[in-house]
Amino acid sequence: MSKRLSFLLLLVGCLWQMSAIAGVALCPRDGERPEIQIRFFQAVQVRLLEADSGQVVASFDSREEGASRTWQAPEGARGCYAIEAELAAAPGKALICLANDEAIGFAVDAQAELATLIRYRGARLETRGTPCDALPKQRGVEAAPKPPAAANGGAPPAFAWPPPRPSTRRTLARHLLTGSAAVPTLEYVAGRLQAALEANGYVEYSYYSVPGGFALATRLERIYPDGRSMAEPKRWEVALGPLTRFDLAEYLRALFDAERGHFRIIVFIVTPAPLVTGAEPPSAAAALAWPREGVPVLPDAMRRLSYDDSFQTHALIYEFETRGVGQPAEFKASSSITGDAHLRRAKILGVLEQ
């Protein structure tokens, strides 16, 4: 084979490979398996391709049943995955990409409403050709569809998505939530969680909506450094005595003036969406409002939904510490014990394992 022909074949191969990975791509980070969650806001088709070969590995169409889709790369996958998106009404029409370190949006132009939003984890973002414009963090929240109305008290408020960064976390095995149910529903799972909470004194909690499921937040409690709940009434006290009524400003002042101590809020997230927590922790004010601003029971619109194999349940533990009178409550960025230890010493896991 002549040198000229060899060069031409090499050039064609390089051009083919470059065209295959043109646009935006997700590449594995530190041996992790890339995960994505797709949310549609317009009639859109999304394709996921192997960046090296151009082979389509998954495709998603907003016109099919459901409004969200999830996908995770197979075990051992090492290559990058290119993402293509086009409007169903205008196949081939170019959509620009907007991206940040946790999501990719596609729109007709930078000022238009998002056509689709793709959250990702376990991956780094790479672009070929024209780089993506910046996607403001709040764009995905603003474009998210409103949760369905609930017959038992109105629409449940949406929990922050992605959830604020916890002190630690624990993903629960499926059998802990499904028990003996042949076809478990979200109502059944919520009942299991409520039973485990109430058996251990957690009788104040609130439900919120999250993509495809719900969040369940407990009331702030005082704990020992090893994760055990303090005995009542000390467990629910913030200052020298329990508050006779709830007022967020009063509660914050009491917490900030409390004696040195450790506090915990547990939020259970039940969702089919990949869980990618945010980079920022919650403020004390936001966390204190969680058990009060949701709804007290699982909304009717969610009860009959099937808890199928796509669902996972995560326990996010948020710890705060006060260092004495006049010192603000501080979020503990990293708990001194594991999420498993928190749930066991709160005696919640023991009930679920029965």
Q: pLDDT for 250-304, tens place per residue? A: 555 555 555 678 899 999 999 999 998 988 888 777 787 888 888 889 988 888 8
Hey, how many other C-beta atoms are within 10 angstroms of the C-beta on 127? 15
CA distance 40 to 106: 10
pLDDT classification of 313: cutoffs 50, 70, 90: very high
Segment 171-197 mean pLDDT: 93
* Domains located in the chain, CATH noted: 3-143 (2.60.120), 168-352 (no CATH)
Flag whether pLDDT at 342 surpasses 60.
yes
CA distance 56 to 284: 45
- Provide DSSP, 36-87: EEEEESSSEEEEEEETTT--EEEEEETTSSSSEEEEEPPTT--S-EEEEEEE
Q: What is the pTM of this model?
A: 0.57
pLDDT value of position 127: 80
DSSP letter (8 states) at residue 1? -
- Side-chain half-sphere exposure of 28, counting CA atoms within 13 A: 13
Flag whether pLDDT at 148 surpasses 50.
no
Q: pLDDT for 213-251, tens place per residue? A: 999 999 989 999 999 999 988 888 765 444 444 455 555
- Provide DSSP, 283-296: PHHHHHHHHHHSBS
Q: pLDDT for 29-88, tens place per residue? A: 877 888 888 887 788 888 899 988 888 988 888 776 544 567 888 877 788 999 988 888
Mean pLDDT over the full length of the chain: 80
pLDDT classification of 151: cutoffs 50, 70, 90: very low
Residue 261, beta-bridge partner list: 322
Q: pLDDT for 119-132, tens place per residue? A: 888 888 888 777 88
Cβ contact 145:114 at 8 Å? no
